[in-house]
Amino acid sequence: MLHAVIDTNVVVAALRSRLGASFRLIERLAAREFRISLSVPLVLEYEDAGKRSAREAGLTASDVDDVVDYLCSVADLREIHFLWRPFLRDPYDDHLLELAVESGSRWIITFNIRDFAGSERFGVEALTPQQFLAKLEGKK
């Protein structure tokens, strides 16, 4: 089974629109086509960013809480320890790479592919939501 970590920008994009690849990706979690891993820092980031953008998306804070609760219910919850920071270009993304490595995830799903340059050294590849959906569908 495919195992990934979803960056906050993908979750926020899914909250903003039901038309894009980000929303389709979140929808496909229900079918258990792939697994995601979460950590406390990532959950808090989802909540913060989601609630900051909720109003413009026509959502309430409670709606965001419901989505985050759902993600927690389907995720593999992990505890990470920050032992080798900084590594990535954007130090705020290091916790995603650490989560991917600790959980054995092969992918980080993000719109900021360049921010994860070097993650391949840990066996982790950054993909956009569209690229990951193509993997789910057996395409390259």
Phi, then psi, of 2 in degrees rounded to 5: -70, 140
User: Phi, psi (5° rounding) for residue 81?
Assistant: -125, 130
What is the mean pLDDT of the segment spanning 100-118?
95
Q: Which two tokens stand for residue 100?
A: 């991917």
What are the structure tokens assigned to 75, written together?
């995720």
Which H or E element spans position 108? strand 107-109
User: Yes or no: is domain 2-136 CATH 3.40.50.1010?
Assistant: yes
* Residues 80-87, mean pLDDT to the nearest whole number: 69
Instruction: Tell me the pLDDT tens digit for each residue of 19-34.
Output: 999 999 999 999 999 9
Q: Which of 28, 41, 44, 34 is nearest to 2 (CA)?
A: 34
